[in-house]
Amino acid sequence: MSQWQIDKRWSDRFLPEIKRILGEYLIAEAPFDEDAEHNTDLIVLRLAAVRIACRVRKHEYIARYGGEFTIRSGRPSGAKTELTKIIEGWGDYLFYAFSDDAELHLAKWILGDLRAFRLFINRELAAGRKPWLAKDNHDNSSSFLCFQYSVMPGFVVAEK
């Protein structure tokens, strides 16, 4: 089993909790007219597919990195990364979280709007700025860009 498969299996354990949280922000109570005239109590905020990238980090990183999120930007193999996919326009939201100490629940999370992220990056690059910190994984399996989400207007949709 590859390290990616091991990491994915670990983070997938949080998917039921992530789905419950996202339901609070992507499903709304229908307006009175919808309820009265169209038998609608709840309404999904968009009818098209909503693509949400999810990443969960271990609790040990929350104290040092709780105010930022990372996006994989390079792999030695040259495989397409999350950053490339986001820049290409894929993904509507980023759900980025840290597990609790027991690794049973989420201790901290943000729901970020990737359209706002793209706009922020484009504006910063156009101004000649690189608003990130580049880092390599300790095993050199990939590189990341670290972003402080507090400086990105409109990025944070919700957080805990």
User: In angstroms, rounded to a whole number, what is the distance separating the alpha carbons of residues 120 and 155?
Assistant: 9
pLDDT score of 113:
96
Q: What is the pTM assigned to this prediction?
A: 0.85
Q: How confident is the model at residue 93 (pLDDT cuts 50, 70, 90)?
A: very high
Q: Which residue has the higher pLDDT, 140 or 97?
A: 97
Q: How confident is the model at residue 98 (pLDDT cuts 50, 70, 90)?
A: very high
pLDDT at 94 over 90: yes
Q: How confident is the model at residue 46 (pLDDT cuts 50, 70, 90)?
A: low
- Residue 67 main-chain phi, psi, to 5 deg: -100, 15
Name, in order, each residue with C-beta under 8 angstroms of 144's C-beta and a sequence gap of 6 or more: 70, 71, 72, 73, 134, 135, 136, 137
